Amino acid sequence: MNVWFFLGGLAAIVFTMIDALRTTLAVRGGGPLTGQVAQGLWRGAQRLHRHTGGHRLLRVMGSVIFLTVIALWILMLWGGWTLAFLSAENAVVASATQAPADFWSRVYFTGFTLYTLGIGDYVPQGALWQVLTALASLNGLFLVTLALTYLVPVVSAAAQEHQLAGTIADLGATPEEIIERAWTGDGFEGLGQHLAPLISSIELHNQRHLIYPVLHYFHSAEARTAISVNIAVLDEALTLIAEGAAPGVRPASLTTQPARDAIAGLLSMLQQQYIEPAEAPPAPPSLDLLEAHGIPTVDAATYRQGIEAHTDRRRLLRAYVEQDGWSWDQVWQHPQRSA
């Protein structure tokens, strides 16, 4: 028996199952293989996106990444069990002649064992290999079932992500539009009732990223349903109100801070798992945006100091938008409804 073949196969099987279980069951992001493959494919798609300018490629990358990861799990499990069955000369034999199977016959036998019931032309010889064949069959069935049951909630979560983005967009397509609609002429009294339902949705979106790490790569080709753009739009509006509006008219902290905290939690998770802060924050929005709608403002020095306190947050927001294939201009310019 070739111990190295057997141990190598066992290592491949264990690594594959750890990655699959961590990706599908652990609430802490994807496994090591899933994370590296997903990020590599996404970066490649982004390079092509920058050359073409369209969103068609990014729109399908979530599905491409998901299916690629599943295919890698299947191939690695197949390879691992093949190495195990190659480790002994008489581990697999032809049922008709009892002659030891050659390399390709063992590859064929392993694939049939893992993912079908087999047809009996090759069989394991001896109690050890019979037990391992049964374990391999159970292992393959478990992995395929796990992958298929993981698919449905991922697709559902992607649809709910687009729904959340659309709900934010209904408040306003740009930060200025949100502010204009929220301003009543003497305050922002109605803003809280619109923010309240968004808080739980943003928190849930955060948790879904950890439960379904591939969700991060499901891209919307429409600005209205692009979650990164609309999270940035909402946060910029709340920042401008909180730091730019005069204390007498700005909403109470309890009205806006829970939503800002939910967004901060999302950005923190993204920084840990997916993005790095942009080199510089976007240019601060002008107080003129508030004054144009008759909203009393703080003085320029106070506003500048307040905005500077959010530098790290705004660097993350910019990175989130740009890593998702959009430009920061999309946040402040009235978007085209499709791209």
CA 304, 235, 325, 285 torsion-angle sign: negative
The arithmetic mean of pLDDT across residues 137-165, rounded, is 91
pLDDT for 291? 92
Residue 128 to residue 108: CA distance in whole angstroms: 20
pLDDT score at 199: 94
Cα–Cα distance list, 189 to 26, 106, 173, 182, 234 (Å)? 41, 71, 20, 8, 17
Residue 278: per-residue pLDDT = 94
The whole-number pLDDT of residue 35 equals 86
Q: How confident is the model over 73-104, as pLDDT tens digits?
A: 999 999 999 999 999 998 999 988 889 999 99
pLDDT-based confidence at 70, cuts 50/70/90? Answer: very high
Cβ within 8 Å of residue 287, ≥6 positions away: 244, 297, 298, 300, 303
Q: How far is CA 103 from the centre of its chain?
A: 39
Q: Give me the sign of the Cα torsion angle 37, 38, 40, 41.
A: positive
d(CA 68, CA 226): 23
What is residue 94's three-state secondary structure?
strand
- 233 or 56, greater pLDDT: 233
pTM, two decimal places:
0.87
Residue pair 155/67 in contact (Cβ under 8 Å)? The answer is no
**What pLDDT band is residue 338 in, cutting at 50, 70 and 90?**
very low
Each residue of 288-321: pLDDT tens digit?
A: 999 999 999 999 999 999 999 999 999 999 999 9
Strand ranges, E, within 51-192: 92-94, 122-124
